Chain A
């Protein structure tokens, strides 16, 4: 219990004192996770739209694989990316191992299935509803897809948010491919793991509090935007 209070005090000190080490860690964490979510979104939205709107052989299989990949264990992804980027691996020549770029790559793999699977589901539902109308109005696929993406934007935003949650909270993948190097690849989650293992529980808890505060802020902001849009557009679905 003392640890907990000490942790809150330490967290407050870290935040109010604008501790430069903390700022660096938080900054890197956000850079890595936001980059990963941005790249994953650019991959996942077209993929989700493709799976929702285009019929091709093997589609069900791809959807099943995608849904299964939503639960990929981060350590396994980290291991695979590690093997690919290690000096003797196929991408070893790039020299990316133990850099933020490697961490971003690993998180892209973790986040893409989540965003794509949720995007596929919501676009598919919306397409079922809109399809007769869009056909009647003469909208071809090039016109239908942007319409569906725009009108499904709330669900897609929720999907992207879920992806950000996964990216910012995972430790397994960034630890393996980043290596938790101070000032280079140390993120909030890897720092928490390190401080805990060293017995610096207050420091670890303080970082945890900051991490949760960031997640909460993002989530509240998104919920606020969602509610506002819902009121404005009369959307019944999330």
Chain B
């Protein structure tokens, strides 16, 4: 069903994304990588893995929020810092400013260089898209958790990004709020926005993913179209993860 949307959408200017020898270290310990991968299909790429697998780290490296210890992230010829202006990042916690809902969105538009007179209208349109236009004047930080995360999504989509990165964006939300966020994700995909999202929620990955990147203890063990991955994961770590088992302590061989 996603193939139709994909063929209609213009090709994403930041794809392909290629990672070469990407590694992240902290305190002398390698927490992620070395990792080589290429993401070129549009739609939703889900970074799947248990807590501590390195999903958030990978997303932050992709967005240039963290510097890699080694290796390279390349967004179709651009560095993460250069590509960032065409991206939006949705954090696990909504990270809203102590301002009104509307002001949170216009703030992002101001930083994106949108002229002042256009900001309000665009922000309201973005809030409309996530179903929160009626809360525009309310202080953002008194909204419910689910509403706050939708404000964060409105802030992300207001700037019309080519890529949206979501870091466990629904981890703290109840099922109804999760469904509301997923509807926005579906809509962004339909609009031809490339989505890269980290999740440990298998059901969510099944619902949304076009492509799976399976991470285990900082290593990329599998990358495959979602249908193929879920039909038959190649590694025992992925099979155990799908079966809902806890990861074992000793290493895993693909």
Which residues of A are at the interface with B, using a C-beta cutoff of 8 A? Answer: 129-130, 132-133, 135-139, 143, 147, 151, 231-236
Q: How far is the CB of B105 from chain A (nearest CB, A)?
A: 11
Contact A137 B95 (CB under 8 A): no
Contact A234 B141 (CB under 8 A): yes
Q: How far is the CB of A153 from chain B (nearest CB, A)?
A: 9
Q: How far is the CB of B147 from chain A (nearest CB, A)?
A: 12
Nearest to B63 among chain A residues (CB) is A136
A-B residue pairs in contact (CB < 8 Å), sample of 22:
A130-B95, A130-B97, A132-B60, A133-B91, A133-B97, A135-B65, A136-B63, A136-B84, A136-B88, A137-B108, A137-B111, A138-B84, A138-B85, A143-B111, A147-B97, A151-B98, A151-B99, A231-B139, A234-B138, A234-B141, A234-B142, A234-B143
B166 interface hit (Cβ, 8 Å): no
Query: Which B residues are in CB contact (< 8 Å) with A133?
Result: 91, 95, 97
Nearest to A140 among chain B residues (CB) is B111
B9 interface hit (Cβ, 8 Å): no
Nearest to B148 among chain A residues (CB) is A234
Contact B91 A132 (CB under 8 A): yes
| Dominant secondary structure at the A interface | helix
Contact B97 A151 (CB under 8 A): yes
Contact B99 A136 (CB under 8 A): no
B229 interface hit (Cβ, 8 Å): no
Bound Cα distance A18, B85 (Å): 63
B221 interface hit (Cβ, 8 Å): no
Residue among A135, A136, A137, A138 with the most chain B CB within 10 A? Answer: A136
Q: Mark B27-53, 1 if CB is under 8 A from A, else 0.
A: 000000000000000000000000000
Which residues of B are at the interface with A, using a C-beta cutoff of 8 A? Answer: 60, 63-65, 84-85, 87-89, 91, 95, 97-100, 107-108, 111-112, 138-143
Bound Cα distance A235, B111 (Å): 23
| Dominant secondary structure at the B interface | mixed
Nearest to B156 among chain A residues (CB) is A136
Contact A232 B108 (CB under 8 A): no
Q: How far is the CB of A238 from chain B (nearest CB, A)?
A: 12
Q: How far is the CB of A169 from chain B (nearest CB, A)?
A: 31
Contact B99 A236 (CB under 8 A): no
Bound Cα distance A109, B138 (Å): 41
Query: Which A residues are in CB contact (< 8 Å) with B64?
Result: 135
Bound Cα distance A133, B156 (Å): 11
Nearest to B91 among chain A residues (CB) is A132
Contact A236 B141 (CB under 8 A): yes
The listed residue (B84, B95, B99, B143) touching A233 by CB distance below 8 A is B99
Nearest to B109 among chain A residues (CB) is A137
Bound Cα distance A236, B100 (Å): 14
Contact B141 A233 (CB under 8 A): yes
Contact B63 A233 (CB under 8 A): no
Query: Which A residues are in CB contact (< 8 Å) with B99?
Result: 151, 233
Contact B112 A138 (CB under 8 A): yes
Bound Cα distance A227, B143 (Å): 18
Closest 10 CB pairs of A and B: A234-B142, A234-B139, A234-B141, A136-B89, A133-B95, A137-B111, A233-B139, A151-B98, A233-B98, A235-B98
Nearest to A237 among chain B residues (CB) is B98
Q: How far is the CB of B195 from chain A (nearest CB, A)?
A: 16
Query: Which A residues are in CB contact (< 8 Å) with B65?
Result: 132, 135-136
Nearest to A151 among chain B residues (CB) is B98
Other A-B contacts than A130-B95, A232-B139, A234-B141, 8 sampled, CB-CB below 8 A, are A129-B95, A130-B97, A132-B65, A135-B64, A138-B84, A147-B97, A147-B107, A233-B139
